[in-house]
Amino acid sequence: MQVRSGLVQVCLIGLRLGATLSMIAGAECDEVDSLVLWDAVVTGRTYLQELLELQKESLCLRPKPGGSHKSQDTVEVIGFPLSQTLCEQLDKLDLLAMSATPTKNILTIHTDRAVVDAGFKIHLNRVALQFENQDLEAPPIWLPTTDGSLLVPAQILQSIVSWSCTTYS
């Protein structure tokens, strides 16, 4: 990563599943100096259940298309097909099972207090050299708004920039 990019320090920042994949990449590659895990998906099984529930809710709000063909090989989630293979791989994701140190510095950001996994915080305290958690108020930006507008969680973005500047100064 550092050789290809020419960077001296690498910080991966991920939201939801991107945070999960960033942590896995950090554990597999010793060139990641820090991670920002924003509302990380701790277990793929829970994530899949959330996606399927979101799909069910979205179907209640719109009419069912006539004559649609359902594939046995995929599951549709809000307009995106997920293959059975992808679903099986997601189902196996479990950040609590990771024993490798993903990086030197980790910042976790939680915006939904109902979803905060205390076990995940304990696990990160064990595997990270420096770990900080921030619980911040913000709407879930991955869910659609009633008016179709985009949400920019400025407080969270400022917190990430501030933490990154402090970490690398």
State how far the alpha carbon of 157 is from the alpha carbons of 11, 36, 109, 138, 144, in Å: 14, 11, 10, 11, 20
pLDDT greater than 80 at residue 155: yes
pLDDT value at position 115? Answer: 62
* CA dist., res. 152 & res. 10, Å (int): 24
Nearest alpha-carbon partner for 124 in 111, 106, 97: 106
Domain limits, the chain? 1-42+95-169, 44-62+71-92
Reported as a single tens digit per residue, the pLDDT across 11-62 is 999 999 999 999 999 999 888 999 999 999 999 999 999 888 888 877 776 6
* CA dist., res. 135 & res. 52, Å (int): 26
How many CA within 13 A on the CB side of residue 153? 17
* CA dist., res. 64 & res. 93, Å (int): 32
* CA dist., res. 34 & res. 106, Å (int): 6
Average pLDDT in the 144-164 region?
Answer: 83
Average pLDDT in the 81-98 region?
Answer: 93
Query: What is the third-level CATH fold of 1-42+95-169?
Result: Rossmann fold (3.40.50)
Average pLDDT in the 93-110 region?
Answer: 90
pLDDT value at position 126? Answer: 83
The first and second tokens of residue 113, run together, are 């207090």
Whether the model clears a pTM of 0.85, i.e. scores above it, the answer is no
pLDDT value at position 4? Answer: 72
pLDDT greater than 60 at residue 67: no
